[in-house]
Amino acid sequence: MISVTGPEAQSVIEANFTPICDTPYSQTAPRKIVYGIWTPTGEDLIVYRSCTDNFEIHCHGGTAASTAILKHLNSDRVQELTPLEFKTISQGLWKSEIFEALSKASTHRTAKILLNQLKLLPENINTILDDVESGHSQAAISKLERICGWSDYGIHLTQPRSVVLCGRPNVGKSSLINAMVGYQRAIVHDAPGTTRDVVSQQTAFDGWPVELTDTAGLRTSANEIEAIGIQKAKAEIESADLKICVFDVAEPWSAEDEATCALVAPDILIHNKCDIISNSGTKGHNISTQSRPEGILTSAETGVGIDQLIERIGQTLIPKTPPPDQAIPISPKQTVRLREVISQLSTAPPNGAEERNSIATWLRSGGNEPQE
């Protein structure tokens, strides 16, 4: 669908569109779906006028028809805009950025939060503008600081948080990933060293987008390919938002386990294969969980502890949620702009009405030159 808007939209449409019915397009009523031909290219399409200066051209499937029409439309009278630029003109930059984020929301929970921000963020910016224009810079700064305090939360409404599972070989990392996502994403085998590469899967826990990553088992004696996998695993662990270290509860807690734990410094610790303890004696070990650091007991085999693990991941990643009326910057760009306003306000002279007005204009336009 191509939107054509602006004072010249009507004459552009009338010059190019011929309805199939006998009535010329200039005489058809608004809010009517009109079928016809785009005369210069011969495309069949539908034109809908939603208000005086705003038309929708609905092309048939694929992108060929819309590309041909856009190419023909581009002239000194018509300028092509990206969806974000188009929304910026009609809704303002702050709102258009939220619309863009909304189109990328992958869960109902994040979509609902972003929908609320469509109202909250512009409303809060207006209150801040009032403060700036009336000389209450300090009040504006504290409101801006409060909004910026939620920037990490806001960014992750569209960017999944990274959760990495690591541990020694054969402890059940891949099996746990499969149990959490609900299908056989990663290869599972009883031979230690099965996972060689970093394997990621996007999912959502409690409505929060998450990227789960499986890694090669950490050990020193390994062949060349496995060693590369282990290096990649360590890099992944370094950069993760949340580190989960998995141990095999059916094996006695060892010096290697202790070293792995120290290397990873996990946010969550898991003792997997607890089904073996409950069938006590399967491996002939005297199993004790008392000598181990505290962790969640799971079984990828039976599903025990998986819900608890998922819940813990959600709580650790998002320990607190904002109050319902809190405005949130939803992208790094928005945070940068808000921080810029804070810095300008902090350095503006106390009685500098002119400086304050220019800050207000800048904030209103979202840090861009005002649109013509």
User: Which residues contact ligand GTP (rule: CB under 6 A)?
Assistant: 169-175, 188-190, 192-195, 217, 272-273, 275-276, 299-301
Contact (Cβ atoms closer than 8 angstroms) between residue 322 and residue 121: no
Cβ nearer to Mg ion, comparing 188 with 204: 188
Least gap, CB of 188 to ligand GTP (angstroms): 4
Cβ nearer to ligand GTP, comparing 146 with 189: 189
Site size toward Mg ion, by CB under 5 A = 3
Return the one option of Mg ion, ligand GTP, none that residue 331 interacts with (CB less than 5 to 8 A, by type): none
Least gap, CB of 293 to Mg ion (angstroms): 22
Least gap, CB of 253 to ligand GTP (angstroms): 17
Least gap, CB of 327 to Mg ion (angstroms): 43
Return the one option of ligand GTP, Mg ion, none that residue 95 interacts with (CB less than 5 to 8 A, by type): none
Cβ nearer to ligand GTP, comparing 129 with 304: 304
Q: Which residue pairs from 124-128 have beta carbons closer than 8 angstroms and sit at least 24 positions apart in sequence? A: 124/327, 125/94, 125/327, 125/363, 125/364, 128/341, 128/363
Cβ nearer to Mg ion, comparing 107 with 174: 174
Cβ nearer to Mg ion, comparing 58 with 185: 185
In three-state secondary structure terms, 278 is helix
* Residue appearing with tokens 């149990």: 179
Residue 240 burial (C-beta neighbours within 10 Å; 0-12, 13-18, 19+): buried
Return the one option of Mg ion, ligand GTP, none that residue 110 interacts with (CB less than 5 to 8 A, by type): none
Contact (Cβ atoms closer than 8 angstroms) between residue 348 and residue 356: yes
Beta-strand runs (E) in 29-72? 33-38, 43-51, 54-59
As a three-state string, the secondary structure of 99-131 is HHHHHHCCCHHHHHHHHHHHHHHHHHHHHHHHH
Return the one option of ligand GTP, Mg ion, none that residue 299 interacts with (CB less than 5 to 8 A, by type): ligand GTP
Binding mask 162-181 for Mg ion (x = CB under 5 A): ------------x-------
Report the residue closest to ligand GTP, judged by CB.
217
> Angle 83-91/93-104 helices, nearest 10 degrees?
140
Pairing of strands 43-51, 33-38: antiparallel
Cβ nearer to Mg ion, comparing 36 with 169: 169
Cβ nearer to ligand GTP, comparing 105 with 245: 245
Binding mask 187-226 for Mg ion (x = CB under 5 A): -------xx-------------------------------
Return the one option of Mg ion, ligand GTP, none that residue 189 interacts with (CB less than 5 to 8 A, by type): ligand GTP
Cβ nearer to ligand GTP, comparing 157 with 276: 276
Q: Distance (Å, rounded) from C-alpha 176 to C-alpha 45?
A: 51
Return the one option of Mg ion, ligand GTP, none that residue 276 interacts with (CB less than 5 to 8 A, by type): ligand GTP
Tokens of 167: 């541990």
* Residue appearing with tokens 């306000």: 345
Q: Distance (Å, rounded) from C-alpha 333 to C-alpha 330?
A: 8
What backbone torsions phi and psi does residue 369 show, to the nearest 5 degrees? -60, 140
Residues that bind Mg ion in the complex, under the rule CB under 5 A: 174, 194-195
